[in-house]
Structures are given as C-alpha cells and as structure tokens.
Amino acid sequence: MHTDFMHTDSMHTDFRTKIGVGDRTLARLTEEMKFLGISTRTVVIEDREITSRNEFIRLVVDLYVNRWWEGAVELLPISTEELEFISFCCSSECKSAWMGAVSAGAAPTLHRLIDDALRDYFCRQQAIARNLDTRLRYVEERLKAGDIQSVRKS
C-alpha cells in the first residue's frame, strides 16, 4: 500500500512515496538482488555504490525519471529515518507538466512510478543479456576458428 505525502508551496512540490511494488515485480526484484549479490558486496551501477535494496530502487527510479524528465524531477537525498520512502522534488511548473503528461497517458502516476521504473529496468537488462549473449557466442566462435582480426576493432 502506498502512502504518499505531498507538500506544495508556490515554488515547488515535494513528493514522498512509500517503497512498495506489485507481487510480480517483487519476485523479480528479489531475483535481481540475489543476482547482483547486493547483501554480500557493494555493487557499482552508473558510478554509484549500492549496498541495499532500497538504494537500488532509488537509483533505478532516479535513472528512469531522469531519462524522460531530463533532470526536472530531483530525487531528494535519503535520510536515515526515511529508508522506506522515496522523496522527490520538482518545480510547480514541472509538476503541472507531469500531471498533464499523466492525464495524456504519457507518464506514470506517482503510484505507478516505482513499478514502472523497475519493469523498465528489467526489460533493459533482458535486452542487454540477449545482445551480449549473441556477442559472446560470436567472439567464442571466431576465436575457436583462429580468427583474431574479427574480434578486434579496426
């Protein structure tokens, strides 16, 4: 269940949403945490050190929002008592644009944001895996055939 907090003044709006995802996303998230080994080591993604599940979610949401919102929505720094929440901040201008985009179906609502961001992340990772698997097989086959030039950049 999400509990959202929204504080607005004339200049900007703060959003706060509880970290919570649907069952299917949660299952994949658990798998991903295991895959990355986040509980046992520090993982570096996009030059940021990730040591917990919530930090990971914050990063994924941040990357996702920034991809379609170009820096207009800012993730607020995490505070220790707020580990269960993600806080955002954006200008009132940006907020109305966001709400407009939501009504037009072009942007996720705050409620859908975390789920959407994670699903987008999983899709991208799948695409990377497919692409690299093909590359790996190609390089493997070329090396086995003794063809070194095809794997080097000319």
Partner 1 sequence: MDRSNLLSPGEFDYLFRFWMDGSLDSIHSQGCALPGVRGLDRVASGFRPQTLLQQFTVAEVSAALLAIAQIDSRSAALLVIKHGYQVPIEDCARALACSASSAQGLLLMAQALLTRELHAH
Q: Which residues bind partner 1 (CB under 8 A)?
A: 34-37, 40-41, 43, 45, 125, 128-129, 132-133, 135-137, 139-141, 143-144, 146, 148-149, 151-154
Tell me if 82 sits within 8 A of 139, measured CB to CB: no
Q: Which is nearer to partner 1, 37 or 100 (CB)?
A: 37
Lookup result for tokens 């940021």 = 48
Q: Which is nearer to partner 1, 99 or 128 (CB)?
A: 128
Longest distance between any two alpha carbons in the chain, whole Å: 67
Nearest by Cα to 14 from 121, 93, 106, 87: 87
Q: Which is nearer to partner 1, 6 or 139 (CB)?
A: 139
User: Counting every residue, how long is the chain?
Assistant: 154
